[in-house]
Structure 1
Amino acid sequence: MIRTNQKALEKEVGADTSNELLIPGGMPVGIYLETEGALVLGTEGVTGEDGEEHEPAAHLVKEGDYIIALDDEEIKNKSQLIEAVAALESDDIVLTVLRNNQKIDIRMKAVRCERNEYKLGIWVRDNAQGLGTVTFLNADSQFGALGHGIRDTDTGQLLNAADGLLYTTSIKDIQKGENGTPGGMEGIIVYNNYNILGTIQENTSEGIYGKLDRVDTLFTDTTPMEPVLDESEVKEGEAVVHCAVSGSVKDYEIRITKVDENAKESNKKLQIEVTDKELLELTGGIVQGMSGSPIIQDNKIVGAVTHVFVNNPKEGYGIFIQDMLKHIE
């Protein structure tokens, strides 16, 4: 493969963005995503100073709400919520939550406990970490990855991202997928400033998107490719998936078994089957962490891997590349 860099890519990209060239990815990255506020996972009972059990948030705060303020004090994360509750001097409070993209003020009573402490009886979370695969990079250093959104593991809700970072990672181990048990890639991610690759600016149902600051660290030996922008050009038949499960990015043979332009979920419009013997030996097929690996057919980027069939890890779903490019301005 021909080594290229960002300047070379910019020269090859014309003024017509509909024909924009992309550098295909396939490299694993560490992901850190912070929510906008504190995500509510559920409510629970609290024992008050009267010895009675109270559940102050029941039927008021709902799973999936984002707490963004307490008594008009902005709440950006779980730590700020804990600090705000610790500073309460009265049990009469107003929580501001984001529910279905609408702000709602909820008046409730905090429970006064022993040692003059107050509790809300709400379980919350404020970040997500993991490993995924970069799909592409464009001439403006904008990247797309995963091909599906990052969702909360408990609620299944798409995380409302306020901020996020990409980190360098290396694959430590691979658990092979078996029928009924999806496999996975285990990576070593050190969350410090030295390992930051770029910023995540958007978390959508079609993937995560942002800006890469250290292009040469992630993209070293690869060639720009043309993306397929017309779904009708993608055909059932032979293709390859670009991924780094062996430690370096390689092409592995797959077969596109179905093209469904009318699928209800955009990241399930392609059905694929792994046919490459080496990849099957390494992973058993598609494993968690491979999401975002670009799918290439006739030397063009047509999409990315998104899901694995739990009962048959040789098969899975993919998303069209044009559905990912909609999120790139």
Structure 2
Amino acid sequence: MKKLRVILCAVLALVMILCAPQNVYVAAERQMVYVGGFPIGISVDAGGLLVESVTGVETEYGTVEVEGLQKGDIIKTVDGADVLSVDDISELLTDEKATVELLRDGRLISVEITPVIEAYSLKPRLGVKIKDKVYGVGTVTFVREDGKYAALGHEIYDGETGVHIPFAGGHVHACKVIGVKRGKKGEAGAILASITVEKVYGDVVCNNSFGIAGKFSAKFDKSELLPLATRDEVKIGKAQIKTAVNGTPEYYDIEIIKASKQPSRKEKGMVLRITDKRLLDSTGGVVRGMSGSPIIQNGKVIGAVTHVFLNDFTKGYGVYADWLN
């Protein structure tokens, strides 16, 4: 009888192990990441030439506007030839009509344009200010042990035109914080930073509603390794963010005041409030450039800061780590 009880106990123990393997594996396979919190410069290719503004062409008769182009257009081709730089436009334009293929409001259209001869250069011009890249500043959320990173927490778009940039690749660069612009009524503040374009730290392989991602090709300052949390582990209450508003990444106290149930990938899963007096004195709350700052709770990375409340700079949104790239 005693021997039977021993056998039954052994069988029961084995059944308990076999019936609960998931918890064992979750603990063993929880992903560890280096906590970010440091700023990066970001350049994203426009996939053509973005019309930043319509300026007109200076002629001997005054300023003449060229009909057909609008602010926010992305010029793709001129007479069938791809344009990827400002120099491409100069080489392709003549004083005759040209067929320009462009993206406008997400639609690919063709327009007929007649360039105008500029007075001082005697060259054909379109009368627009254009650029082939969009630049910005953001914060790295975390870096995986293989060098793959997640940053920003939201899509990068052109701040001058407000245009969504179809993803065509990009890079991350060295970035130095030089100051902070505090927010004012209806306008968010911003981290002021300089980007060293010549110093390329890595690539950008995606740009979507949940931020940018890529891989560092240069060495970065490795910080502590922490596990990534699932959205179900996020709780209302105290937490911290790590950010570099004064140049050096530091931890600041916050409070999670709302954590939405999100069965599928969505933005703005959390609402947070800055409670740290040091950060409030420095920035007034959440500012642009802080996007991507990792949110840490109970020793785990739970997500990233994404947006600020324009009617209350002490509050902002966060995205769950589950949804980051």
Q: TM-score range by the shorter chain?
A: 0.7 to 0.9
Q: Report the secondary structure of 1:95's partner residue.
A: strand
State the SS of the aligned residue for 1:129. Answer: strand
SS in 2 for 1:279: helix
Aligned twin of 1:96: 101
Q: How far off is 1:102 after superposition?
A: 5.3
Partner of residue 132, structure 2: 126
Secondary structure of the equivalent of 2:225? Answer: coil
Tell me, yes or no, if structure 1 residue 223 matches structure 2 residue 224. Answer: yes
**Of 207, 212, 215, which residue of structure 1 is paired with 2:211?**
207
Q: 1:78 to 1:206 in 2, by over 3 A?
A: farther
Amino acid at match of 1:76: L
Q: Is the 8 A contact 1:309 1:315 kept in 2?
A: yes
Q: Highest CA radius of gyration, 1 or 2?
A: 2
Distance 1:196 1:213 in 2: 8
CA contact (8 A) 1:91 1:111 kept: no
Match of 2:35 in 1: 24
Identity %: 32
TM value normalised by structure 2: 0.79
Q: Deviations over 1:163-192 (max 9, x none)?
A: 422222232222344555533222243322
| CA gap 1:173/1:25 in 2 versus in 1, 3 angstroms | same
> What displacement does 1:150 show?
1.6
* 1:153/1:247 CA distance change after superposition, 3 Å: closer
In structure 2, what is the equivalent of residue 298 of structure 1?
Answer: 298
Distance 2:263 2:129 in 1: 35
**CA–CA separation in structure 1 for the residues paired with 2:96 and 2:108:** 22
Q: C-alpha distance in 2, partners of 1:16/1:98?
A: 48
Equivalent residues of 1:158, 1:204 under 8 A apart: no
User: Are 2:265 and 2:323, in contact at CA under 8 Å, matched by a contact in 1?
Assistant: no
Matched residue type, 1:228? A
Compared CA separation, residues 140 and 17, structure 1 to 2 (3 A): farther
C-alpha distance in 1 between matches for 2:61 and 2:37: 58
Cα displacement (A) at 1:305 = 0.7
Alpha-carbon distance, 1:69 to partner: 1.1
In structure 2, stretches of 5+ residues that fail to align are 1-24
1:161-200 pair list within 5 angstroms: 161-177=167-183, 180-192=186-198, 195-200=199-204
Provide the rounded CA distance (Å) in 2 between the counterparts of 1:52 and 1:147.
Answer: 43
The residue number in structure 2 matching 1:72 is: 80
Q: Is the 8 A contact 2:59 2:117 kept in 1?
A: yes
Matches within 5 A, 1:129-168: 129-168=135-174
Shift of residue 73 of structure 1? 1.6
What amino acid is aligned across from residue 242 of structure 1 in structure 2? K
**Contact 2:66 2:114 survives alignment (8 Å):** no
1:123-172 deviation per Cα after TM superposition (whole angstroms, max 9, x unaligned): 43322223211111113311111111221123212223434222222322
* 1:178–1:312 CA contact under 8 A, matched in 2: no
Residues 305 and 316 of structure 1 are in contact (CA less than 8 Å); yes or no, is this contact kept in structure 2? yes
Distance 1:78 1:236, change over 3 A: farther
Q: Does the CA contact (< 8 Å) of 2:189 and 2:287 recur in 1?
A: yes
CA deviations 1:32-62 (Å, max 9, x no partner) are 33311001345565577898956431xxx45
Quick one: structure 1 residues 167 and 53, their matched pair in 2 at CA, closer, same or farther if it must change by over 3 Å?
closer
Q: Would the aligned equivalents of 1:67 and 1:98 in 2 still touch at CA under 8 Å?
A: yes
Aligned to 1:235: 235
